[in-house]
A = this chain, B = another copy of it.
Amino acid sequence: MHEVRALAPATVSNVVCGFDCLGFALDEPVDETVVRQIANPEVRIIHHDDFGLPTEPDKNVVGISVLAMIRDADLDFGFEVEITKGIKPGSGIGSSAASSCGAVVAANRLLGDRYSKLELVEFVMQGEMLASGARHADNVAPCIFGGMTLVRSTEPIDIVTLAHPSIFATVIHPQIEIKTADARAVLPQSVPLIDATRQWANLGAFVAAASQGDLRLLGRSMEDVVVEPVRKGLIPKFDEVKEASLAVGALGGGISGSGPAMFMLCPDAETASKVREAMRLVYEPTGIDFKIYCSPIAGSGARVI
């Protein structure tokens, strides 16, 4: 076997009250990666798109992730990685993490699956470090493990797979750019204790609601008093999208990642479709291009096909 093909899904991170720790995987969109063994212990990147992503392996999140694996395994050969992106970079739904996760999952298969999922997360976090400047796993964890995940700690890495009911997400991606620097600049350095307390009570309730399948509690707990208030101003029509979605039955939602994507969780596919329509009606008059995805919260993360 000299070539392995993998799919890796888009993911929603910073899920409302779970800033920097709570995420989940979608069924679509996905990135596709094909990994082939090559003679030298290096990484060669081939892009099938015009997003202008770098191909130098040490300047590319995928390159860094796969190089980390090559070094760890002390290989005397390397990998060519061919990437077909279904997830637009800068969307807020884990585009860079998806390509890297697909690449390491495929490369791992070529190595006889010698690495655990947790080890694969570690490799991809090295790539994400380039993209965000920090050890983040909140997109990587759901992309590798699938489903809904909580990153308890990144140092050392500690990932919890959460039980959750069969629910759906509708995600709208307005095709505008939010600079990472801007999304970061608005974050508060510190939080009033009273707000922090409210946030963690909500996150505790969210996790309990997910494990108990209590959709009403899930909805009530989807409240973000820390990050959403300062970041929503970067996203046109944020409040209108949320209100229109709740009005047709969405449980709750918020900013996906650091935006501009927004997501709403829905109790079933029918509601997810209604939310899609409600979002469309809010966004069409703005003249801003947008894409909307409806998807169950996916059980499977990045996988060989």
Complex Cα spacing A20 to B158, Å: 25
Residue ID in chain B nearest A192 by CB atoms: B190
CA gap between A143 and B22 in the complex, in Å: 30
Query: Given A151-B201, A153-B201, A204-B206, A187–B193 Cβ distance below 8 Å?
Result: yes
Q: CB distance A18 to B200 under 8 Å?
A: yes
Expressed in whole angstroms, the Cα–Cα distance for A197 and B22 within the complex equals 11
Separation of A205 and B203 alpha carbons in the complex (Å): 10
- Which chain B residue has the least Cβ–Cβ distance from A190? B190
Q: Would you call A291 an interface residue if the criterion is a C-beta within 8 Å of the partner chain's C-beta atoms?
A: no
Distance to closest chain B CB from A138 (angstroms)? 10
A201 is contacted by which of B152, B201, B202, B211 (Cβ under 8 Å)? Answer: B152
Give a binary string over A215-226; 1 marks a CB under 8 Å from any B CB, 0 the rest: 001001100001
Choose from B22, B188, B192, B193 the contact partner of A204 (Cβ within 8 Å): B22
* Contact (Cβ within 8 A) A190 B187: no
Q: Is the CB of B158 within 8 A of A205?
A: yes
| CB–CB A21/B158 < 8 A | no
A24 CA to B169 CA, complexed, in Å: 34
Inside 8 A of A207's CB, which chain B residues have their CB?
204, 207-208, 211
Contacts of A206 in B (CB 8 A): 204
Which residues, 177 to 216 on A, are CB-close (under 8 Å) to B? 187-193, 196-209, 211-212
Beta-carbon contact of A193 and B197 below 8 Å? no
Q: Is A160 an interface residue (CB 8 A)?
A: yes
Task: Please determine whether B19 and A160 come into contact, CB atoms closer than 8 angstroms.
Answer: no
Leading 4 A-B pairs by shortest Cβ distance: A200-B200, A21-B201, A152-B205, A196-B196
Q: A152-B201, A196-B199, A211-B211 are in contact. List 7 more A-B contacts (CB 8 A).
A: A21-B200, A153-B220, A162-B208, A163-B208, A163-B212, A189-B192, A189-B193
